[in-house]
Amino acid sequence: MSETTPTTPQTTLERVRALPKVSLHDHLDGGLRPATIVEIASANGHRLPTSDPEELRAWFRDAADSGTLVRYLETFDHTIAVMQDAESLARVATEAVLDLAADGVVYGELRYAPEQHLQGGLSLDEVVEAVEEGMRRGEQQAAAAGTPIRVGTLVTAMRHADRGLEIAELALRHRDAGVVGFDIAGAEIGFAPSDHLAAFDRLHAENFPVTIHAGEAFGLPSIADALHPCGAERIGHGVRIVEDVSVHEGHDEHGLPNATLGRLATWVRDRGIVLELCPSSNVQTGAATSVAEHPITLLKDLGFSISVNTDNRLMSGTSLSREFALLVEEAGWNLADVERATITALSGSFLPFPDRVALASAVIRPAFA
């Protein structure tokens, strides 16, 4: 950050917000506006911890600050409860697109698990149709507001449930209508990616891209399982790949940390597997101690393909700009690091290749130049 005026956290945040960014890992049901939750809950009778939007915003952040993934995930009961009819699903999707666009995101992938939105009588296909409708509306409104954004959705299956293949088929049915990829999420310990191998095999037989949450609450075996039998194109989180990296004293001739990589970490780095890292979320679930000490900075310095993400903007009280600003303020990142992570995210995205090239050359490169 080379300028004569001193940089403060606020100015860093504003500078990063003005730059075009790419978001790969953002849960639709983890990013609702508190006022929207209050409004829909009062209409559908769902009881919330508080009906004051600002108190509710704080409640989510505090409750998610729990130290374990399982307790962090309990907070989703209150967002999922207000996403059970077509109108609410479309509204939440539109607002998510507008909120990303206002934060300077120019391409985003939003994920959610359709199987969690059936309590009001919708079918799986109706859930996906409502979300896609809301996404298109969001894109149109963002363009009209002068903050153009393109979004794709990732259809997620819950790893503890037994519907992987059915959800994979659902994703395939909507692949030309906005669904760009497939994911599995939920509690990681005890629920291996290969429990859903039939889904991943089916998707790969149809040349459909997959990302898998792995290496967040469980370690290297989870990442290896996601990559090899399951063939994930990207890894959701993957932060615990650092358990296969030993750091030694000192630095090499380029000023980079001396480290030895195990076979799995070598594979992930050398194949350029894009990791969807989510610093603040990891601090809340206990996967990292702080943003300053988050392994993302070591992984960046060692040449891993890292992207920066929010995971759940509501639960972490964050935005993509804020995640980058924290890395700049607390972990020594500069704007070249922000640009590199943005280009990496774009390269790993499930957008068609010519669209990625166009976005990089017409929007991202010029803004950082």
Q: Per rule CB under 6 A, is residue 26 in the interface with ligand NOS?
A: no
Q: Per rule CB under 6 A, is residue 27 in the interface with ligand NOS?
A: yes
Least CB distance to Zn ion at residue 216 (A): 8
Determine the 3-state secondary structure of 355 from DSSP.
Answer: helix
Stretch of residues binding ligand NOS (CB under 6 A), selected from 106-114, 197-205, 254-262, 351-359: 106-114
Segment 222-281, which members bind ligand NOS (CB under 6 A)?
281
- Which residue from 41, 64, 82, 113 is in contact with ligand NOS, where contact means CB under 6 A? 113
Distance, in Å, from the CA atom of 55 to the CA atom of 37, rounded to the nearest integer, reads 12
Catalytic residues: 216
Q: What is the DSSP-derived secondary structure letter of residue 317? A: T
Tell me the per-residue interface mask from 76 to 95 with ligand NOS, x by CB under 6 A, - otherwise: x-------------------
Least CB distance to Zn ion at residue 236 (A): 5
- Which residue from 139, 225, 311, 339 is in contact with Zn ion, where contact means CB under 5 A? 311
Nearest to 135 by CA among 183, 82, 98, 170: 98
Q: Which long-range contacts (CB under 8 A, 24 or more apart) does 177-180 make?
A: 177/132, 178/132, 178/135, 178/136, 178/151, 178/152, 178/153, 179/128, 179/132, 179/152, 179/153, 179/154, 179/155, 180/109, 180/152, 180/153, 180/154, 180/209, 180/350, 180/351
Q: Per rule CB under 6 A, is residue 312 in the interface with ligand NOS?
A: yes
Distance, in Å, from the CA atom of 101 to the CA atom of 90, rounded to the nearest integer, reads 17
Backbone angles phi, psi at 26, to 5 degrees: -145, 115
Angle at 25 between CA 21 and CA 27, to 5 degrees: 120
Nearer to Zn ion by Cβ, of 142 and 179: the residue is 179
Least CB distance to Zn ion at residue 213 (A): 6
State the sign of the Cα–Cα–Cα–Cα dihedral 111, 113, 114, 116: negative
Q: Per rule CB under 6 A, is residue 109 in the interface with ligand NOS?
A: no
111 binds, among Zn ion, ligand NOS, none (CB under 5 to 8 A by kind): ligand NOS
Tell me the per-residue interface mask from 165 to 194 with ligand NOS, x by CB under 6 A, - otherwise: --------------------xx--------
- What b/e sequence results for 214-248 when a residue is b if at least 16 CB atoms lie within 10 Å of its CB, and e otherwise? bbbbbbbebbbbbbeebbbbbbbbbbbbbebbeee
Q: Per rule CB under 6 A, is residue 60 in the interface with ligand NOS?
A: no
**Annotated binding-site residue? 213:** yes
Q: Per rule CB under 5 A, is residue 323 in the interface with Zn ion?
A: no
Give residues in contact with Zn ion (CB under 5 A): 311
Binding-site residues for Zn(2+) sit at 25, 27, 213, 311
Give residues in contact with ligand NOS (CB under 6 A): 27, 29-30, 69, 73, 76, 111-113, 116, 156, 185-186, 213, 216, 281, 311-312
